[in-house]
Chain A
């Protein structure tokens, strides 16, 4: 007996080991990024978006491009120069460098897109979350939504721009005026779907208040849905903005944007095609890169894709 006892010894409780969970370590955001950077296309698009974004934010600071002034208007030799080493994107009918014009326009377009998108998403998510959670509010907001949603957005936008007159802030107002309601409606439906799931029922029974329910239980669940929306919202705002400016109801003459450049240079569509196609290409690359980055990020932010 004693011999046997000597062969064994008591082991102290190892607090560290007993607390260890054998499941592998998992961090949500780390997995999101890991998943995101798996896609080579997304990385390429992210780099492209970053490059376009930084050029369009920095280049106009140095070029001092002003659509109202054409300093070289009397110098005929630099009119309609095709893209070359001095003028990377060529020059237009007044001898202005297209390179300066495009980045100045891109800056406006990107600024408008980002501002309008953040207002739409912010307002839409906030209202949509409450809307989906509150049944009394649902009745009234749904009525308003039914009227607004049935009128074509472009018609509302054109009408409002006509009434308000051209301007930067007017344009942002118009792009947000009805669009946030569609975001809110979408979020409302999503919130309604998961509002009464078991884990939320339990949480509510335990006495969680509505604000905490929305912000901690419901919205985190919607991350990937929200990012998907975001990635669609930016191209759609860029498209609407460019089109309103193209129609001549968007921005005043002092401010240039890619849509406006396209509408000006459409005259040279046949004779000097670079004037027309370069702004179109830049416009398309901005929204495509933002869209693909957003879509990939949305996929990555869905925990189901994490392995």
Chain B
């Protein structure tokens, strides 16, 4: 069994990598690369300065991983070292030293271009697709260690990992000097109580919306208005601030305000805000919708089965037909209309904000509508089928009431298929989130995908593809493992002798 689980996990990771690679290759091969500038403010500003434009454009392409880009000073510095006399001579493009450097770069596959107006020379090298893909995956997992920060301004930065206390001296943490983050492992009272900053994922930077912030940070940082409370900083001053001390990371140069608060260079901290992050928002809605749909559909399905052919059964069946036949766009708007006109619920999430419970009602219902229909259909059919099973007949002949039969006998058996349907419900909720978040203007991952596509934010699209795919594939894996836990008769392992029952998906 352990071997089986291991193989399944490896296979799931492989699937995630395959899907992400395909997405990566397609996006970076087929989406025209210059479209990223369509909504870029800086590009628009310098677009009438032909001496700066190519430098900016190529620098951005390098950031996005399309090519290697070296400006003239970088070429000379790289070949002869900074602030040497050879470097100064090399900066003249007619010199022999420059030609040597040029030949060196050309051997590596660089192509030289001269900007006519300023006479500045730069070199670019297209990175082949497979190399790009490799560098994407090799940079993806980042492990923080004391040698990460290589800062010319602070060459004698102390490099060590130690156990220290937080600012208020209320808790101990594994801390680091020389790492990207100050706190590597720390404890607090929010779920899951033990947190780490050692291993992180890197998908590149967001461009052009959320300009220059790492994509994963965009998705995980809090949104909304700053929440201020008195904080005692390492220097001893106490100010009303929103700083979250555990998020502090390295900052090369401290401004005068930082200097009054911090004693070291770990001053780049996130701020505490009142609304959950995009990821958090999406998870809240996903989980609410999942719980809601199970809470509604299983009792209702049972009730429909025990009242087969009566009015309630017919209403339920009509609802199933309605959800299958009517396009999602139409019924979500219809429900939104009903909610706002008859129950005075907000038509969009931002109108009352994340801290008002009313904002959550209609989006959750909309997200749950399709999965309720699927579960309802399934539960009803299962119950109707089981009604004539031998164990039910026996229970009935023993004189048990219908309620007892349904709750104590049939429902127990139904748990397994219910657990089996869970991954499907999660996959459905991911797709549904893209629709509902757009319609209710919920600042979550589904809306972010939509926004990113509109402004050609390739890195963000890949990050979201990765997250959604991983969620879907992992939920299938967990669903399979869950049913082997619940039902000992089911073994997913081929080698087990005796009763063999495969679960088909």
Contacts and interface: CB of A to CB of B under 8 A. Distances in A.
A155 B505 CA distance: 20
A230 to B, nearest CB: 13
A291 B321 contact: yes
Contacts of A55: none
Contacts of A246: 329, 438
Contact of A288 (B326, B431, B454): B326
A161 B438 CA distance: 17
Contacts of A146: 15, 505
Interface in B466-504: 468-469, 472-473, 476, 504
A152 B26 contact: no
Contacts of B321: 291-292, 295
Contact of A239 (B15, B329, B430, B504): B329
Contacts of B244: none
Interface stretch (A27-35, A205-213, A279-287): A279-287
29 contacts: A146-B15, A147-B18, A151-B468, A152-B427, A154-B435, A155-B430, A155-B449, A158-B434, A159-B23, A159-B26, A159-B27, A159-B465, A162-B31, A164-B30, A232-B324, A235-B325, A235-B327, A236-B324, A242-B329, A243-B329, A247-B450, A248-B454, A283-B329, A284-B327, A284-B330, A287-B327, A291-B321, A291-B325, A292-B321
Interface string B320-354: 01001111111101100000000000000000000
Interface string A133-164: 00000000000001101111111001110111
B469 A151 contact: yes
A238 B333 CA distance: 16
Contacts of B325: 235, 284, 287-288, 290-292
A273 to B, nearest CB: 9
Report the 5 A-B pairs with minimum CB-CB distance, sorted nearest first.
A291-B325, A239-B327, A154-B431, A152-B431, A288-B325
- Greatest chain A CB density within 10 A among B19, B23, B329 is at B329
Contacts of A236: 324
A259 interface: yes
Nearest to B334: A280
Query: What is the predominant secondary structure among interface residues of chain A facing chain B?
Result: helix
Given A242-B329, A283-B330, A160 B15 contact: no
Contacts of B329: 239, 242-243, 246, 259, 262, 280, 283
Contacts, number: 107
A154 B472 CA distance: 13
A110 interface: no
Interface residues of A, number: 39
Contact of B473 (A150, A159, A280): A150
Contacts of A247: 434, 438, 450, 453
A152 B430 contact: yes
A162 B35 CA distance: 12
Contacts of A112: none
A102 interface: no
A172 interface: no
Contact of B19 (A147, A249, A283): A147
Interface in B25-43: 26-27, 30-31
Given A162-B27, A232-B324, A155 B333 contact: no
A147 B435 contact: no
B362 interface: no
Contact of A284 (B15, B326, B450): B326
A150 B23 contact: no
A150 B326 contact: no
A238 B325 CA distance: 10
Interface in B399-455: 427-428, 430-431, 434-435, 438, 449-450, 453-454
B194 to A, nearest CB: 30
B148 to A, nearest CB: 33
Contact of A155 (B26, B326, B327, B434): B434
A160 B26 contact: yes
Contacts of A259: 329
B461 interface: yes
Interface string A163-197: 11000000000000000000000000100000000
A102 B428 CA distance: 30
Contacts of B333: 262, 276, 280
A141 to B, nearest CB: 14
Interface string B148-179: 00000000000000000000000000000000
